[in-house]
Amino acid sequence: MSFLTVLNLRKQQQGALVVNDVSFTLQPFHKIAIAGETGSGKSTLLKMIAGLVPVDEGTVLFEGQRVKGPHEVLLPGHPRIAYLSQHFELRNNYSVAEVLERVNLLEPEAAKEIYDICRITHLLQRRTDQLSGGEKQRIALARLLGTAPQLLLLDEPYSNLDMIHKNLLKTVIRDIGEEMNITCMLISHDPQDILSWADEVMLMKDGVIVQQGAPQQVYYQPLNTYAAGLLGKYNLLESATAKTLVAGPPPKGKLLLVRPEDLVLHTGNNDKTIKGKVNTVTFYGGYYELEVALPKDNITLKTMHTSAKPGDTVYISLKNADIWYI
Ligand SMILES: Nc1ncnc2c1ncn2[C@@H]1O[C@H](COP(=O)(O)OP(=O)(O)OP(=O)(O)O)[C@@H](O)[C@H]1O
């Protein structure tokens, strides 16, 4: 028996199929991250799993039991599945401690551990209108954890957070998984959040899972340009370019997909380099990004150090990475 089984789930909104025959299973403590363009059905899928939105067709089984829809129960939502919405609200004119105590099901010691993990212990006496967005987010999370969930569904938890609060929340989410033994699923638009956290990545488009696999696999072996683009920049290289960079002929009708960091910049040429002219150089802090015009392609390349300037001639080779054509 799987921890969570999603079977042929379908949902229509305003006459359009927004979740279309989605099936997957989730084992305890396996971290699944979902990405997809806006409107691809990610939130609707999580809300159906949580029992907050009625299912049109299909079934959600949590520990072998069907998750009931919101119209089948008095209080919508499964008691052991928590969903953190992008649009959560904290009641005004209450202290943080009061907001948390209203729903807390845990012993004081366990509740205190959650407040520590969520880094909110110092905020307990504050009023909810005296909090920053990042603090509110961690309190909303602590409130959900107080209901003792086994499965936590996080819907874009990092949106609208500055880097400091985002990093703090990332640590909190990691600790929830590791120290509280809660299984998490997460939606995010940011490849860095997804790839660094997930055991498995699920990519959605038009209500369908278009690709699912380990982060390295979906990043380096995307099934199509949509999947490639969701997880970062990429180059699609013509066969003439591919022939210079890769030993052996490219498969007919296919293009070589290369991530910018898998190209190497040289100042001199050899038989595995291709000559190009630098169009732009952009500094991003930890790396530089160069746009380079090749005879048949324009490519994007990432490098840690460079003194190249627009107009310079450079030579480019491919790192010894796995070759992927689409
Ligand atoms: N309650 C609703 N009533 C009508 N249409 C809805 C409702 N909820 C969602 N939709 C529509 O269903 C589609 C999928 O929405 P959903 O929020 O699941 O997408 P998403 O992938 O989570 O998008 P985003 O990344 O923008 O949050 C969208 O076209 C949306 O407008």
DSSP 1-53: --SEEEEEEEEEETTEEEEEEEEEEE-TT--EEEEESTTSSHHHHHHHHTTSS
The token pair that represents 203 in the structure block: 């990519």
Where a domain ends, among 181, 211, 229?
Answer: 229
Q: Beta-carbon neighbour count of residue 20 at 10 Å?
A: 18
Q: What is the mean pLDDT of residues 62-80?
A: 96
Query: Is 20 close to ligand 1, i.e. is its CB under 6 Å away?
Result: no
The token pair that represents 41 in the structure block: 């059905």
Q: What is the mean pLDDT of residues 19-23?
A: 97
State in Å: Cα 112 to ligand 1 middle: 36
Q: For a pLDDT cut of 70, what percent of the chain falls above it?
A: 100
Q: Beta-carbon neighbour count of residue 51 at 10 Å?
A: 24
23, 6 contact by CB (below 8 A): yes
CA 134, 138, 139 angle in degrees (round to 5)?
A: 115
Task: Indicate whether 15 and 55 sit together in one domain.
Answer: yes
Task: Indicate whether 23 and 131 sit together in one domain.
Answer: yes
Which of ligand 1's atoms lies nearest the C-alpha of 47?
A: 18
CATH number of the domain at 12, please: 3.40.50.300
Where a domain ends, among 176, 205, 229?
Answer: 229
Q: What is the mean pLDDT of residues 172-196?
A: 93
DSSP string across 273-284:
-EEEEEEEEEE-
Mean model confidence pLDDT for the chain:
93
Name the nearest CA neighbour of 256 among 222, 295, 217.
222
Task: Indicate whether 149 and 289 sit together in one domain.
Answer: no
Task: Indicate whether 108 and 180 sit together in one domain.
Answer: yes
Instruction: Check residue 325 and report its DSSP letter.
Output: B
Nearest residue by C-alpha to atom 16 in ligand 1: 41
Q: Phi and psi dihedrals of 255, rounded to 5?
A: -115, 145
Task: Indicate whether 60 and 191 sit together in one domain.
Answer: yes
> Which of 40, 52, 53 gets mutated to test ligand 1 (max ligand atoms within 8 A of its CB)?
40
| Distances 293 to 93, 135, 218, 299, 318 between C-alpha atoms, Å | 59, 46, 27, 6, 16
pLDDT for 124: 95
Task: Indicate whether 244 and 193 sit together in one domain.
Answer: no
pLDDT for 272: 82
Where a domain ends, among 172, 194, 229?
Answer: 229
> Which of 9, 10, 13 gets mutated to test ligand 1 (max ligand atoms within 8 A of its CB)?
13
The amino acid occupying position 305 is: H
Domain that holds residue 260: 234-325
Task: Indicate whether 244 and 270 sit together in one domain.
Answer: yes
Q: Phi and psi dihedrals of 45, rounded to 5?
A: -60, -50
> Tens digit of pLDDT for each residue in 269-319?
877 889 999 999 999 999 999 999 998 889 999 999 999 999 999 999 999
Confidence check: pLDDT of 320 > 80: no
> Tens digit of pLDDT for each residue in 229-246?
999 999 999 888 888 888
Q: What is the mean pLDDT of residues 69-84?
A: 95
Confidence check: pLDDT of 180 > 90: no
Query: Is 36 close to ligand 1, i.e. is its CB under 6 Å away?
Result: yes
Query: Is 85 close to ligand 1, i.e. is its CB under 6 Å away?
Result: no
CATH number of the domain at 299, please: 2.40.50.140
Task: Indicate whether 260 and 316 sit together in one domain.
Answer: yes
State in Å: Cα 156 to ligand 1 middle: 13
- For 113-231, strand residue ranges (E) read 151-155, 183-187, 200-205, 208-213
Query: Is 41 close to ligand 1, i.e. is its CB under 6 Å away?
Result: yes
pLDDT for 205: 98
Task: Indicate whether 42 and 173 sit together in one domain.
Answer: yes
Partner residues linked to 185 by β-bridges: 32, 153
Looking up tokens 């390349």 gives 301
State in Å: Cα 117 to ligand 1 middle: 31
State in Å: Cα 56 to ligand 1 middle: 15
Task: Indicate whether 94 and 219 sit together in one domain.
Answer: yes
Query: Is 78 close to ligand 1, i.e. is its CB under 6 Å away?
Result: no
Task: Indicate whether 173 and 260 sit together in one domain.
Answer: no
State in Å: Cα 76 to ligand 1 middle: 19
Task: Indicate whether 258 and 129 sit together in one domain.
Answer: no
State in Å: Cα 79 to ligand 1 middle: 24
Looking up tokens 């009023």 gives 127
Name the nearest CA neighbour of 42 among 208, 164, 169.
208
CA 193, 212, 246 angle in degrees (round to 5)?
A: 90
- What band does 321 get if pLDDT is binned at 50, 70 and 90? low
pLDDT for 160: 79
Query: Is 12 close to ligand 1, i.e. is its CB under 6 Å away?
Result: no
Number of domains in the chain: 2
6, 60 contact by CB (below 8 A): yes
Query: Is 39 close to ligand 1, i.e. is its CB under 6 Å away?
Result: yes
Non-local CB neighbours of 31 within 8 Å, separated by 6+ positions: 177, 183, 184, 185, 186, 197, 198, 199, 200
